[in-house]
Every structure is written in structure tokens, then in C-alpha cells.
Amino acid sequence: MGTGKRGLIATAVAVVCAVTVLAAPGTAFANPTPSPSPSAGSAFAPAKDLEAVRKKLDKLYRAAARATDEYNAADEKADKQSTRVVELAKKIVKGQEKLRKLKARAGAAAAAQYRGGGLPPEAHLVLSDDPQDFLDGAGRVREGHHATKGLLGELARTQEDLEQYAKDASAQLKKLEAGRKAKAAAQKKIEKQIAQAEKVESALQKEEQERLAELEKEAANKAQTAWLDSGILDEINGKASEQGKKAVKYATAQIGKPYQWGAEGPRAYDCSGLTSQAWKSAGRGIPRTSQEQWKQLRHIDVQDMRPGDLVIYFGDASHVAMYIGDGAIVHAPRPGRTITIAGAGSMPILGVVRPDAGTDTN
């Protein structure tokens, strides 16, 4: 076995080994009833201090959400690259077998010539005394030339293909390694932000934690009230498509399950894991991350949205929820929270996208 063959087989084996290593609608949200403030003389942190804590936690969890999108994007790319590398490895192995057979055919042709005294077919033809043999032999010589030329050409093409497969596999492996590093870096960011947030929350007494949760609700209710007061709900009357109904049914069935970054179910989800899996269950694949959902799916005016559409939040598209009608969304909020129904206007809306754009509604 030649050194070229050994090298390509080694490449195929290395490629495979590397891959193994790397590889229910809610009702409209009404104006909230303000929660009572802590009584005077409370031994706990004053409301203004807890509001500062709330804003700090919001900042930390939003940073974690951005890092989660980075992680999910890197993970999605790594999956595709792994698949591509495996495909190339299979092509290398298959091409190597084809090359072996072609070389065997070439070797058989060479052996036949050796058995003929080392003379080429043309020489035997010239030495023939029989005119009929000459004529018959001339045809065979032409056929032989064509066959030999075709065999050598196929050998060369197969060798070139194998070399290209090896180069492509090497390039994909480099991308895969870069993706692995990107995932690891994003994971560190996520864990750092969540750890800092948990440290802040753990420093609070139980009553302060409860008051902090109330402040979070108040902030969300205030934003939702402002959104509803704009009269937007009077304009939103779109009906869900059949696929949209299925997506909403799936998403609302997950209510109560915990948020977990990078998760796509069935026990836990992050925000885009919930929306992508809901639409997958409805028969429509969509991008994995909220940012790619915003980039790739068709944009819809807020007043035209219908149940099943995805509402993208914040200027960096770091959060996504599913509109379920009546001014409400279902979403996976953040670490430490469960999938829940909230007001569609409870967070700053960047825009709305429609996974099943072009389908009829009922």
C-alpha cells in the first residue's frame, strides 16, 4: 500500500475520531394594582435600594441571555460542521476503496502486457501475418487505448477528489475547533453572569426577595399598561393559522417548566429553545436563536400579529416569546424562573416575526 493511500486513510480515521471528540391563550393584561410599599421603619433595604438591585439583576440576566444566544449559535454551527466532517470522512473512505479497485484494474492491464512479452499491443499487431487478425486487432487496440485512457483519467480524478475531500475535512475540523472554543467562551460568560446574579439575590433576606419579586411584577405591569393604553390591542385581531395553533398549543403546554440556558426541552427550555421547538412541533423548522429568528424570519407589524407569531425583545434581539392572543405572550423568562404567560408589552418590543408567513388563516 503506497504512502498516499496510507495518508488518506489516516486522514479519514483522524477526521472521524475528531468528530467524536468535538463533536392556552391568556386574557388581556389589565392595569395592575400597585403593591403596597414596605411599612415605615422596616429593618430591610428601602424600596429605592431594592429597585437598584432589580435593575442590576435585570442587567446581569440580560447579559446572560446574550451569551446564551452566542452559545446556542455556536452549538448549532458545531452540529452542522460535525455532520459535514462525517460526510467528508465517508467520502474519503469510499473514494479510497474506488481508488484501490482502479489501481487493481491498472495493475491487471500491466500484468497482461508483461505476459505478452513486454511488447505493446501495437507491436503484436504489426507482427501478425494474418490480414483478418490485423483488422480485428486494430479495433481491439483502439478500444484498448480508449479504455486505458479512461482508466488513467478516472484514477487521476479520484485521486484529486480524495485530496480535495481531505482539504475540506481539515478546514471543517478547524472551524469545528473554533466553534468549540466559542461555545466554551459563551458558557463562561453565562455562568459568570448567573453566578453574580445569584450572589446578589442570595444576599437578600427572604422578605426582601419577596419584595424584589413584587418590584419585578410592578415594572412589567407598568410597561404592559403603557402598551395597552396606546390602544394597540384594538388593532390586533389576527387569527392563528393551523400551524400557529399547533405551535401555541405546544408552547402553552410547557408552562411551569423551568428555564435552563441552552435547553430545548422536554424538561426545560431557554427562550428560543421554547419557540423553536414549538414551531418544530407544528411542522416548521426555524432558526435556533432569537437573533437569527429576528434576522431570518419575515417581519410583521405589531398591529398585524396573530397567535403563533414571535415577539422579539430588546435592541439586541436577546429575548423572544410567542404571542398567544389577547395581548399576552408565553415565554421562558430567565434563570430561576419558569415558563409563564406575561403581557406582550411587558418588555421593550423590537419587532414581530412570522414563522409561517404566507399561510392562510382560519
Question: Nearest 5°: CA angle at 142, between 138 and 148?
Answer: 140
Q: pLDDT at position 294, please?
A: 96
Least confident residue range of 147-151, 286-290, 298-302, 314-318: 147-151
Q: Which residues pair with 254 in a beta bridge?
A: none
pLDDT value, residue 23: 39
Q: Supply the pLDDT for residue 307.
A: 96
How many other C-beta atoms lie within 10 A of the C-beta of residue 77? 17
Cα of first residue to Cα of last residue in the chain, in angstroms, is: 67
Active site annotation includes 319: yes
pLDDT score for 37: 42
pLDDT band, very low/low/confident/very high, at 266 (cuts 50, 70, 90): very high
Partners of residue 269 on adjacent β-strands: 259, 264
Q: pLDDT by residue (tens digit) across 344-357? A: 999 999 999 999 97
Annotated catalytic residue within 17, 145, 299, 331: 331
51 confidence band (pLDDT: 50, 70, 90): confident
Yes or no: say if 350 and 300 are a contact pair by the CB < 8 Å rule. Answer: no
Higher pLDDT, 60 or 328: 328
Catalytic residue among 17, 124, 299, 319: 319
What would the pLDDT profile of 195-219 be if each residue is shown by its tens digit? Answer: 888 888 888 888 888 888 888 889 9
d(CA 48, CA 157): 74
Helices (H), the chain: 3-21, 47-115, 121-126, 131-202, 206-229, 232-235, 242-253, 271-281, 290-296
Q: Is 271 a catalytic residue?
A: yes
How many CB atoms neighbour CB 16 within 10 A? 18
**pLDDT bracket for residue 284 (50, 70, 90):** very high
Higher local confidence (pLDDT), 329 or 114:
329
Catalytic residue among 124, 146, 271, 299: 271
> 208-212, 327-331, 334-338 — which is least confidently predicted?
208-212
